[in-house]
Amino acid sequence: MAEHTSSQDTLKGAKLQRTDSNCAAKWGEAQCAFCSAKFLQEVGEAASGYSTADRERWICEHCFVDFSGHYGWEIEGSHPKASN
């Protein structure tokens, strides 16, 4: 698990978009805000993950799973499940 830093607090409640390495390549060298994994189409690098709408912050799949509950992220275009 990646280590938490206070700069990551800006991602609390963020609305994220599903992205892949093709999208990341268009925005320059993108890397995970938590573990610094690079989003590239190379073996051993993150091939997909999530980003903020402005593409300023990126989160890899692994860190998304680890931290989504704590940060309360919402995926744009998805709808929360209704509770009964």
**pLDDT, tens digit, for every residue of 39-81?**
765 555 556 789 888 888 889 889 999 999 999 999 987 544 4
pTM given for the model: 0.71
Domain that holds residue 40: 10-75
The answer to the question of residue 46 being in a domain is yes
The answer to the question of residue 37 being in a domain is yes
**pLDDT, tens digit, for every residue of 18-29?**
886 566 556 567
Is residue 25 within 8 A of residue 58, CB to CB? The reply is no
The answer to the question of residue 32 being in a domain is yes
Total domains present in the chain = 1
The answer to the question of residue 5 being in a domain is no
Q: Kindly state the greatest CA–CA separation across the chain.
A: 44
